[in-house]
Structure 1
Amino acid sequence: MNNHLSKTIKNEMFSHHYQLLYNLNDFKPFGVEILFRSSLFSNPQRAFQKAKELNKLYELETTSISKAITDIHLNSIQGQIPDHLFINVYPSTLIHDDFVKTMKNLIEQTSISASNIVFEINEEELITDHYSLHNAASNLKEEGFHIAVDDFGKGYGSIQTVIEIEPSYIKMDKFFADEIEYSTHKQEMLKSMVTYCEKIKSNIVLEGIETPEQFFKARELGIKLGQGFLLARPCPLEDL
């Protein structure tokens, strides 16, 4: 399996799909999330789990990001580039000593600026070194990149991460969209998060919007940004 993964990374035997995020008020595209895909693994998560087991997670993530950004750069030559590119990153990759330098070198070779890129902190990995994560996020923000906390309410230590990192975006897990039109508890939680985000000058994004009822209730609650199958499904770059 080690050779299998090494071959995947070296030969870039993977691709990406892209899912649009929308402004719920005017229904205009706001940005796009970049999603890893590989036919060599049963699901994308499995590829990263195996990379983590074999101590190749940083190599896989940076290679994947490089390919995605390069592909978007080549597409942007034709005048098409989303304003905000959301990219999932594990905390251990974010705090790697070379990550900030590698990302700076990458964008310097493209037409994409740091302000276009939003690194989503993947909350599926337990954060044990909050000090290093805070420093890494601060360094990235100083270079013009944005930070998001992904799947808020699902993973490890989301609240602590939000308070310490002060992200530009907080992406609420799809759990909150499910039956949002019926659940007063979810509605109150989301209203509280909208108020909190306004105070810290962050942006709330509701993931998993799949029905018109969820869409209208989210907008009624003051949520401005959304993502989900009702709005757009993941697709190859050429179909975006």
Structure 2
Amino acid sequence: MNRWNDIELFPMYQPIVHFEYPQNVFGYEDTIRGRAWNGRIISPAKLFAWAEEDDEISKLDRYARQIAMQKAEGLPDHKLLFLNCHGESLKEGHVFEAIENYRFTDRIVLEITEQTRIDDIHHIQGVLKDLRKRGMKIALDDFGAGFSNFWLIEALEPHFVKLDKILTAHVDQTQQACRVIEGMVLFAEKTKTILIAEGIEREEQADILRELGIQYGQGFYFGYPFEVSEKRMVNTK
């Protein structure tokens, strides 16, 4: 039996905030979840692992964006919507299909996962150029994990670079982590890129990252992923 038949796919959204004004949400990142017939929630990692086994990565990736944009109509106006995009979708030209009828293209930030190896950089640059013409912004996701390369930032010219939790997890515990973040801040200033720190779970992390020059953050400390119907508020402590 096809394992997808009894799974309901749905989007969840996690707030991204400005460190100085955490009560004001800057944007929301969408992540897809699955709900099994018995109510069990299936993680994005598990869903994409199944999709890879079934050779349906692009199909799942495309559908995740479609339902995310549909449900995003219920989010507050004028907030950015960060949508994940697998490298295969860029290669195959599937990004445009889901956004043609979306009314707020200038609110979309397409997150290109840094864990996906990009072989044909010239083709990807052309695709991103077309997306920018439509008003979309680009983010490089998971920086610090997978195939980390600083040249990707210069080649793709993202508006945002999201620092993976691997880089931020120990920033309040080791000087080495702080030095890496300091280097990223200097690099971002030279490339005119905005940094967003992911995986923030403690106040100490948030305080140090702010002192190091990071402006925006995301993580359980600021707010958990939620369904639009839940109307869960961001943590303002």
TM-score in same-fold range (> 0.5): yes
1:53 maps to which residue? 53
In structure 1, the gaps of 5 or more residues are none
Q: How far did 1:59 drift? A: 1.8
The Cα of 1:204 is off from its aligned counterpart by: 0.2
1:179 equivalent in structure 2: 170
**TM-score, structure 2 as length reference:** 0.87
AA in 2 matched with 1:17 = M
Aligned partners of 1:82 and 1:88: how far apart in 2?
A: 19
Cα shift at 1:226: 0.3
Work out whether 1:25 is the aligned partner of 2:25. no
Q: 1:43: Cα distance to partner?
A: 2.4
Aligned to 2:63: 63
Match of 1:145 in 2: 136
1:96 maps to which residue? 92
The Cα of 1:163 is off from its aligned counterpart by: 1.8
CA contact (8 A) 1:72 1:81 kept: no
TM-fit CA distance, 1:24: 0.3
More strand by share: 2
> Could you say which residue in structure 1 is the equivalent of 2:235?
none
Deviations 1:115-144 (A, max 9, x none): 211111122322222222222222211211
How many residue pairs end up in the alignment? 226
Is 1:215 the counterpart of 2:210 in the alignment?
A: no
CA distance in 2, matches of 1:85, 1:208: 18
The alignment's TM-score, normalised by the length of structure 1, stands at 0.86
Q: Which residue of 80, 87, 99 corresponds with 1:84?
A: 80
Higher-helix-fraction structure: 1
Counterparts of 1:164-203 in structure 2, within 5 Å, are 164-203=155-194
Identity over the aligned pairs, expressed in percent?
Answer: 27
Name the SS for the 1:19 alignment partner: strand
Describe the superposition over 1:134-162 as per-residue Cα deviations: whole angstroms up to 9, x where unpaired: 22222211211111111101011442321
Question: 1:82, CA displacement in angstroms?
Answer: 5.3
Residue 107 of structure 2 corresponds to residue 116 of structure 1 = yes
1:160 to 148, 151, 159: 151
Runs of 4 or more off by more than 6 Å in structure 1?
none
Q: Contact (CA 8 Å) 1:90, 1:123: kept in 2 or not?
A: no
